[in-house]
Amino acid sequence: MLRRTLIGVVAGTALVLPLTATTATAAPAAAPAVLATTLTYDDSQAAEFKQAVADGANVWNTNVQNVRIVKAQPGQRANIRIVADNGWPRATLGPVRPGGQVTIWFGRQAVQQGYHLVRIAAHEMGHSLGLPDVKPGPCSSLMSGSTGGVSCTSVNPNASEKSRVERNYAGTAQQQSSDVVLSDAAF
């Protein structure tokens, strides 16, 4: 191939054009792929909530197409940092982009009151992905948070929450994560 290409260059464009056509035939254009944004999370400070964090990431990975949340490699600077502490859960409002970083504080105060672990994780990741709280709201809404009730075990985003995240990561959105921290204290 290299030799033919060189000959083509020497001989002029007449030979180059057939070579181009041959190449195009040999490698037909694939259908446009949907390129998801991949975000990483760091659970090294998530203490006893590592499994809930993994389950929360899986909730989003099974509900939306345009963004994926995967565990960071050890030492890698992650996009979503999860920190267990003794306050109420809270999180930086995204949408976080690759190269950016937001924090989720996995507050034990909500856990001690009986709120569902994976719902907490998925809710706070919703903030990372740019969703604000929708309070008060029903259990069927992930972003209703604590107002969905302490007995609420629904972990999935509803249709409008899913579509908003899809828009946030549709590829044309430029909105960046903010310095705003949303607190999920229940009273």
- Which amino acid appears at position 168 of this protein? N
Distances in Å between the Cα of 113 and the Cα atoms of 64, 89, 108, 147, 151 are 30, 12, 9, 13, 10
Q: Between 42 and 184, whose beta carbon lies closer to Zn ion?
A: 184
Give the binding range for Zn ion (CB under 5 A) out of 61-69, 74-82, 126-134, 160-168: 126-134
CB atoms under 10 Å from CB of 122, counted, come to 26
Taking CB under 5 A as the rule, does residue 133 contact Zn ion?
Answer: yes
Q: Between 29 and 63, whose beta carbon lies closer to Zn ion?
A: 63
CB contact at 8 A, 41 and 173: no
Q: How far apart are CA 84 and CA 154, in angstroms?
A: 22
Q: How far apart are CA 29 and CA 148, in angstroms?
A: 48
Q: Between 19 and 109, whose beta carbon lies closer to Zn ion?
A: 109
Q: Between 35 and 115, whose beta carbon lies closer to Zn ion?
A: 115
Residues 48, 124, 161, 166: which is the catalytic one? 124
**Which letter, b or e, does each residue of 29-62 get, where b requires 16 or more Cβ atoms within 10 Å of its Cβ?**
eeeeeeeebebbbbbeebeebbebbbbbbebbee
Q: How far is the CB of 95 from Zn ion (least distance, A)?
A: 15
Q: How far is the CB of 132 from Zn ion (least distance, A)?
A: 8
Q: How far is the CB of 137 from Zn ion (least distance, A)?
A: 11
Shortest CA distance to 72 belongs to which of 87, 90, 94, 50?
Answer: 50
Give the binding range for Zn ion (CB under 5 A) out of 46-54, 110-118, 142-150, 165-173: 142-150
Give me the residues paired with residue 40 across strands.
70
Binding residues for Zn ion, total number by CB under 5 A: 4
Taking CB under 5 A as the rule, does residue 161 contact Zn ion?
Answer: no
Answer yes or no: 124 catalytic. yes
Q: Find the binder of Zn ion among 56, 94, 107, 145 (CB under 5 A).
A: 145
Taking CB under 5 A as the rule, does residue 42 contact Zn ion?
Answer: no
The residues of the shown chain that bind Zn ion, judged by CB under 5 A, are: 133, 145, 182, 184
Residue positions annotated with a catalytic role: 124
